[in-house]
Amino acid sequence: MVADSARWEGFPFRDGDVVISTPSKCGTTWTQMICALLVFQTPDFDLPLAEISPWLDMLTTDRDDLVAALEAQPHRRFIKTHTPLDGLPIDDRATYVCVGRDPRDAGFSWSNHRANLNTDAFLAARSKAVGLADLDGLLPDRRRELPPTEIARFWQWVDDPAPVSESPTSLAALVHHIRTFWPATAGAPNLVLLHYDDLQADLEGQMRHLAGRLGIDVPEPRWPQLVPAARFGEMRRRADHLVPNRGDDLWRDKTEFFHRGTSGQWRARLDSDDLHRYHRRIAELGDSEVAGWLHRNPAAD
């Protein structure tokens, strides 16, 4: 178990909190960086991004220490989670931000992410923070063998039959996560739902949109400095300062954490038979409305 949403229980919210709740590999760190740029209005931060915007659920940090660090922050807080909205406490003082992405791109990004993760380092960090006693007798069954190829890892992610409560990193979990944010499309005041492709196509426009939704006033002369700092290449260049859990040695290559950051990478990897198989799985999940929004233009596939 990587994370535990129960760590949100009793969390002391305050006015203006931002909860960045995204499915894995859908632009989480990107959104954290954008929020940091909007809050601080400079690309230069005093601390690594993951310390400014910690992952509250992740079991590599003692919860009390993490909450105390958040309580000590004098600035507007923005907190990371991969828990969907139906697993979070909803507080009117907070704004909840989600980003969706074409699942095929997210799946291949997850494939690379799994290959780059040092599982032994993760377990060592978890053991130090919260122990491993709760995994006794479970770990050998839950630690699935990592398929050796990119495409095999992709299909493992797509076809994962486990309930989303047990397997939060799967195609089914991604679709479910976006569904929990669907009231944002009807104008729910404290929910923001963004699309990865929009961030790519018009980063400045999307940053301005998010600033407006968060009620942050950015002086016009600041934008030419802030927007380039949120571009993928610049974030990749600063990987050592921006990756999650940078001190736990979780990543075999920190730069590789920012692998591609592109849309449509699946087109060079999936043939027509693969796409039929993928769309059958999408249909099985029974949420055509969310799937259509995620894919943007499925008729062109």
Residue 183 belongs to domain with CATH number:
3.40.50.300
Contact 278, 114 (CB under 8 A): no
Specify if 168 maps to a domain. Answer: no
Tokens linked to 291: 């799937």
Q: Per the structure, how many domains does the chain have?
A: 1
Encode the chain (301 residues) as per-residue pLDDT tens digits.
788 999 999 999 999 999 999 999 999 999 999 999 999 999 999 999 999 999 999 888 899 999 999 999 999 999 999 999 999 999 999 999 999 999 999 999 988 777 777 777 777 877 777 787 777 655 444 445 678 899 999 999 999 999 998 888 999 999 999 999 999 999 999 999 999 999 999 999 999 999 999 999 999 999 999 999 999 889 888 888 888 776 667 777 776 776 667 789 899 999 999 999 999 999 999 999 999 999 986 444 4
Specify if 200 maps to a domain. Answer: yes
Q: Is 259 a catalytic residue?
A: no
pTM of the model: 0.90
Domain membership of residue 22 as a residue range:
5-102+118-148+174-260
Contact 263, 102 (CB under 8 A): yes
Specify if 281 maps to a domain. Answer: no
Specify if 270 maps to a domain. Answer: no
Contact 52, 133 (CB under 8 A): no
Q: Which one of the listed residues 75, 82, 113, 176 is annotated catalytic?
A: 82
Specify if 51 maps to a domain. Answer: yes
Specify if 83 maps to a domain. Answer: yes
Torsion of CA 170, 22, 234, 220, to 10 degrees: 160
